[in-house]
Each structure stands twice: as C-alpha cells, then as structure tokens.
C-alpha cells in the first residue's frame, strides 16, 4: 500500500510540472475580480441563478488541503448547469456527463489577486461536445459565450 501511495505521489508530482502559457490557457477565459474569493463565488452563483441556472456543488480545494495539513491559496470550483438544457444530450450521449455540467474556478494567486476562470463556449463546442459525438451550432456557442461573459463580468467588476 505504501509503495502504491509513493508511486501515486510521484505521478501526481510529474503532473504538476509547469506548462507553457499557451498550453495552460488553451480554451480558458480568465478574468480578474475586484472582490475576494468568497464574494466572487457568491456573486457568480447569484448571477447564474438569475439566468435560470442551478448550482450543483462547490469544491473547496484549499479546505481539502488544510484537512491534510497542507497550505493552498483559495481555490473554489463552482459546478453549475441547467438540467432543462443538459439532460437531453446526456440521455442520448451518456459519456457527456464526464465533462458537464460546466465548471468555473475562483482562485487567488500568490500576489493576492483573485481570478475567475472558465472554459470558453468555443472550447466546449469544438472540443468537449465533439469528443462525445455531439455538435454545438455556432449560434449556440455564441449565446453561451455571451451568457458566460455577462455572468462573469457581473461577478468580477
């Protein structure tokens, strides 16, 4: 068991080697927030709810790290969606559930700045959906991008 944990730790250590900026940011939109992590999370969730979305969960990575005696700056993942929009595609393409509902990350960098990061609608439409045999029409991508832009702007400015 200890040998397996050591092997897992080594693999995870390799996984966190720095990537080039282009590789790390592919398909991501990141916006600086004028608020703390908890305030940004709350504003993001409220903006989503106002647009008819629901919040499925929050993942507090820093809180989890603390439980193991580790330090991590605030990093909260918000998992959100709209079952009226997502259920049909998941019924026909069950593997889609591994990649949706969408997520956003609210995080603090080493200098104390707070950021909101999410997958672009373009990435969802050209990478995520096709990998499950689905297509997202350009007008749907455009509508989703507009929604995400509005909600993220409301949450960060």
- What CATH code is carried by the domain that includes residue 103? 3.30.310.70
Domain that holds residue 101: 27-156
Check if the beta carbon of residue 74 is closer than 8 Å to that of residue 41. Answer: no
- Is residue 65 one of the residues assigned to a domain? yes
Query: What per-residue confidence (pLDDT) applies to 141?
Result: 94
DSSP state of 96: G
Residues in the chain with pLDDT values less than 70: 1-25
CA distances from 72 to 67, 69, 109, 110, 143 (A): 11, 10, 10, 10, 35
- Is residue 13 one of the residues assigned to a domain? no
- Is residue 76 one of the residues assigned to a domain? yes
- pTM of the full structure: 0.83
Query: What per-residue confidence (pLDDT) applies to 3?
Result: 55
- Between CA 29 and CA 5 the distance in angstroms is 34
- Between CA 151 and CA 137 the distance in angstroms is 21
- Between CA 115 and CA 113 the distance in angstroms is 7
Query: What per-residue confidence (pLDDT) applies to 4?
Result: 57
Of 126, 151, 157, nearest in space to 141 by CA: 126
- Is residue 22 one of the residues assigned to a domain? no
- Is residue 20 one of the residues assigned to a domain? no
């Amino acid at each position: 068991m200890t040998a397996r944990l050591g092997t897992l730790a080594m693999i995870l250590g390799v996984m966190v080697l720095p990537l080039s900026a282009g590789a790390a940011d592919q398909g991501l939109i990141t916006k600086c927030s004028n608020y703390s992590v908890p305030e940004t999370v709350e504003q993001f969730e409220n903006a989503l709810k106002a647009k008819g979305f629901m919040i499925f969960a929050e993942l507090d990575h820093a809180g989890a790290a603390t439980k193991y005696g580790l330090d991590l700056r605030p990093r909260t993942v918000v998992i959100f969606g709209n079952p009226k929009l997502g259920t049909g595609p998941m019924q026909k393409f069950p593997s889609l559930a591994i990649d949706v509902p969408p997520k956003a990350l609210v995080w603090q960098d080493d200098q104390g700045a707070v950021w909101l990061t999410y997958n672009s609608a373009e990435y969802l439409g050209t990478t995520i959906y096709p990998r499950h045999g689905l297509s997202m029409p350009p007008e749907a991508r455009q509508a989703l991008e507009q929604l995400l832009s509005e909600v993220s702007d409301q949450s960060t400015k």
